[in-house]
Each structure stands twice: as C-alpha cells, then as structure tokens.
Structure 1
Amino acid sequence: MYFKRDDLYTPFGAGGVNGGKLRQCMLLVEAALGREPGTKGVITYCSLHSPQGPITAATARHYGLPCVVAYGGASDMSVATGSMPRLAMSYGAGVQVIAKSGRHNVLKQRAEALAEARGLFVVQYGINLDDYGEVLLSAVAEQVQNIPDELDDLYITCGSGITASGVIVGIERYGKAVKNIHLISTAYDRREKVRATLRRYGVERPFQYHDLFHTPGFVYEKQQKMRVGGVKLHPQYEAKSMKYLLEHDLNRRNALFWIVGAEPRER
C-alpha cells in the first residue's frame, strides 16, 4: 500500500501545523491579499478539536496579519484548556467564543459580521476554496502528480470535501489510471458538494462513498490512536478512516491512502 504524505509539508518546522490544509490556507490568504489589498486581518471559525484554528493563526502570523479564531457552543474554560485553541494562541491568534451554538451556519454568520465590521478576510469552514479555484488546483490537484500512474484503489478522508474534490480533479488532469476512488466521510454528507465542484472543472468522475460519520458509535470528538508503518495517523481523521478500511477489509494491494495532515503538537 502506498501513502501520500502531505503531512510532510511542514514550513514552520516539524511538530507544528502541517499538511495539505496548511498549504491551502497559505495560498488562499496570499491570493486574498492580492485581490483584497485592504485586508486588515484574518478570521476563521471551527470546532474546538479542529486544527483549522492553529493553521489559520500560523498562516496569518506568516503574512504579518492579526488573526481571530472563533468558536461556538463552548465555555471560556474549554477554550482556554483545549489543545487546538491553545496552539492557535501560541501562534498569536486572539480566540473568541462568538455564539452559544457551535452550528456551522450560526458561526459562519457571526464570523462574517465580525469580518465586515473589522475588515477581516474569512477563512471558511474546511478552508473552503469556492471563490479561489486557482488555489484548489495549485494547492491540491497538483499534489497528484507524484502518485503512481496506475492504482486499483485510492482512499481519502472526506470532511468538508475540498481536498477530496481537488484530488479527483488532479487525477483527471494528470491522467492517473485509478480504478476506484473512495471517500471515507468523517463529517456530514458532502457528495453533492464534491460533485458540484467537479462539474466546475469539467470532471465527471464516479467515486465510492463510505459514510463513517453515521456509523453507530462514531463520535467526531473521540480520538483514535493508530500507527501504520511507523507513521502516526491523525487521531481525528486518518486514523479513523484507516480503522474503517481495515475493519471492512477493503483492498490494500496497489492502493494509495492519502494523508492530509498530522496532529500538530502544542508549542
């Protein structure tokens, strides 16, 4: 079995924030500064357990911008003691609880209101690249170039669907002969989101969808520890996908497992 090691993208040093989502965020903020030169800072909203907060904070610090990481449905104590909020603060972010609810639509609305009032650029849930197609291609699709030319199966964890979409676009763009593409979902159903993104790039590619999120006993907040071949998989995402793959005896010969990122350590 092959592994795509996007977790080895570590521009701020080993053990810090890393991976494909960091690459997306870096290129997104760079592109936004070019389009919106009046940007005074960056704001993002996410789960307490998500690495998106520290990823955005590290990116903002790199570009010399202030950063707000917004949470909802959390107490001040849980924010102050949570590993991801603490890591975001160590990168210089201001951390705020902006809503009583942690629902995505509520947080998005509150974050956008703060952004408009303060002149901030919003890094959306999942580091959404809907309005920045060139970033989707350069940050994700191009990473397909060095995978094997012929594979029977490719597995990728699907959260927001952004990375999964970019990988599929890359497979078509670079002519990779992949028989079966598997999305293993650790969030709400993103199939239509992925298909809509593919259509934007003229890609009509079927994929198999594995709904891990609604499997009995699945809890997003619960971590899964796993090492494969000496590689420590992210306990929130890839470790759960790999466990699913093994438990369901999915094909592992001439197959590739895409590692989006590794769990960053507190600084």
Structure 2
Amino acid sequence: MELTPVENYSGTLFKRDDLYAPYGADFVTGGKIRQCRDLIETNLDYIKSECGSTISTAASIHSPQAVIVSRVAQEYGLKSIIGFGNTTIEKALKHKAMSWCKDMGSELVVLSESQGFNNVIYSNLNKLAETRPMFKVLFGYAAQQYRSSIIGKIAEQVQNIPEECDILFVPCGSAVTFTGVVEGKRLYDKKFRLVGLQPFGYNRVKDVQKNLEGMIWDYDFDFLTGNWSYQQLWSRNVGFELDKIYESKAYDMMVDLDLYKTASNPCYWVIGNSNNIR
C-alpha cells in the first residue's frame, strides 16, 4: 500500500490523492482509480467466468467515472460498456470523456434518450444486465457490497494525515470518498475535526451514514452544502491546479468558513483531478 503525500502550500496542508496517477498525469487522476482497480482486480476471476469478461458503468457524459472504468478495463484485458442518457452517441462523442472511452475500445450505449439522471440510467443499466453478462461498476451503490475496495482503500489513506492537523476538509460529490475518510478517522483514531463540503447536489449525509460500518454514534463529522452549479467550471490554483468541477468549488467554500480561518493546521483532501477531460 502506497500513501499519497501530504504537502504544505502557503500554510494549508493538502492530502494529494490527486497524485495517484497510474495512467499518467495527462489522464484522470486520483482515488477513484484506486478504488476501481482494486474492485476489478479483486473480482477478476468472477468477471471472466461469470460476466463475459465485461465491466460496465452508467454515468454523465462529462463524468470521469466513464473514462476510469474504460481505462481499467483496458488494463485488465476486459471489454467495457459505457452507458449514458439524454443524448445520442454522435453528440456524446463530441465530449472528450466519451471520445476517450471509444478510443480505449468501450462500447457506448444510450440508456435513456430523454433522461440523464443517475437513478434512470442506473435502472436501465440493470435492465441491460439482465440480457447481457456484465459486472457493473457503480461507485455509490458498490460501497456496501464491495466495502474493502470502495471504502477501505480510501480509509487507508487517512493514516498519514499528520497529528498536528486539527481540521480536515473533504470535497463531496457522491460522498463515497468522504465515507472512507470518516471510517479511516475512526480506524486510525485520528483526532482532527472532519468536515464534508458539498458544493452542489442534494445533502448526502444519509448516504454517508448508510455506508458506515459501525453505529452512527461511533462517528463525529460535520457536513456543509453550497449552491454552486455542477456544470460551471471554476479554476483555482493553490500552488497546483485543482479540479474545476469539485475541488475548486469546495476549496472556495472552505476558505470562507470561520472553521478554516481559526484553524491552526487545516488540511484539504484533494480527491483527484479530471481537468484533462473538460
């Protein structure tokens, strides 16, 4: 197990999980690749024997999830199906993420002509899986069934958050990474205050609580939501470039908080970077 570094930029610590880059810095980087690789490697024999050597996912045409699944499939010699909605294949291919998936050999599938919401395309991927063998990679839904890969691999990374850190801020989308950090804080008996920052979308606290292994009262964290737009690209350089969808927005949420301004040694968890597909 290799721990990504914690670095100091202008007095703020940064957990640089974006430096996990097994496919190079010019690809997508970060912890979600680690989760996906471990999930596929752990289940590889089953995927080959029972799933037609095929993995699949359903995601927004802008999502790094699609290119991660596509690239991991390529690494392990598997076929991949990338599903999406509310567009056509021709239009989807105008977006870099979908173009990359096609170039890596993925089969692109329109799961809904009119809807792009996760609940719709996830449901339709499940229906497709009834007619074709496949191993579905849906990070949020896999958090309970495949805990060691989805939650455990993130929890391990909490080990090298330094003892002097008094508060740790974690950007949240689906909050799966945050759930792993919550588990890691308990597992390694870390004393920092933990704050989830969700710049857009609905409040994910119930999802976090549902995916925790212990009882709710065993955990202590704060969770704050913002009013950013998902679609808006927001640039922020803190000594290195942050992801324009998640990290940059959550970072700006953080620096406006009294919790941050009064902290002695704040730390910001950088989950990954997908700017190369934007």
Q: TM-score, normalization: structure 2?
A: 0.87
- Which residue number in structure 2 is paired with residue 222 of structure 1? 232
Identify the residue that residue 119 of structure 1 maps to in structure 2.
133
1:53 paired residue among 48, 66, 77:
66
Cα distance between partner residues in 1 of 2:138 and 2:25? 26
Aligned to 2:246: 237
Please tell me whether the aligned partners of residues 18 and 264 of structure 1 are also in contact (alpha carbons under 8 angstroms). no
1:69 matches 2:78? no
Alignment of 1:132 with 2:146, yes or no, is yes
Matched residues, number: 259
Per the TM alignment, residue 49 of structure 1 is displaced from its structure 2 partner at its CA by: 1.5
Question: Is 1:201 aligned to 2:200, yes or no?
Answer: no
Partner residue of 2:168 out of 154, 158, 164:
154
Cα distance in structure 2, aligned partners of 1:14 and 1:26: 17
Structure 2 residue 17 is matched with structure 1 residue 3: no
Change (3 A) 1:173 1:150: farther
3-state DSSP of counterpart to 2:234: coil
Change (3 A) 1:202 1:134: farther
Moved more, 46-55 or 109-118: 109-118
**Distance (Å, rounded) in 2 between the aligned partners of 1:31 and 1:102:** 30
In the other structure, the counterpart of 1:247 is 256
Instruction: Compute the displacement of 1:7 (Å).
Output: 0.9
Asked whether the equivalents of residues 24 and 139 of structure 1 are also in contact (C-alpha less than 8 Å), the reply is yes
Are the aligned partners of 2:169 and 2:197 in contact in 1 as well (CA < 8 Å)? Answer: yes
Contact in 1 for aligned 2:151/2:177 (Cα 8 Å): no
From the superposition, tell whether residues 234 and 103 of structure 1 become closer, same or farther in structure 2 (CA, over 3 Å).
same
Whether the 8 Å CA contact 1:24–1:127 is kept in 2: the answer is no
Runs of 4+ residues over 4 Å off in structure 1: none
Q: Which moved more, 1:104-113 or 1:29-38?
A: 29-38
CA positional deviation for 1:39: 1.9
Distance 2:140 2:147 in 1: 15
For the residues of structure 1 that align with 2:163 and 2:135, how far apart are their CA atoms? 38
Q: Is 1:38 matched up with 2:15?
A: no
Tell me the distance in 2 between the aligned counterparts of 1:137 and 1:105. 21
Following superposition, the deviation at residue 54 of structure 1 comes to 0.2
Which runs of 5 or more structure 2 residues have no equivalent in the other structure? Answer: 1-11
Alpha-carbon shift at residue 107 of structure 1 (Å): 0.6
Q: CA deviation at 1:106?
A: 1.2
SS in 1 for 2:159: helix
- Shift of residue 127, structure 1, vs aligned partner: 7.0
Between 1:135-144 and 1:162-171, the stretch displaced more is 135-144
Q: Name 2:27's counterpart in structure 1.
A: 16
2: CA distance, partners of 1:222 / 1:150: 35
TM-score (norm 1): 0.90
Give the whole-Å Cα distance in 2 for the aligned partners of 1:27 and 1:110: 25
Provide the residue aligned with 1:260 in structure 2. Answer: 271
Unpaired segments ≥5 residues, structure 1: none
Structure 2: distance between partners of 1:120 and 1:85: 20
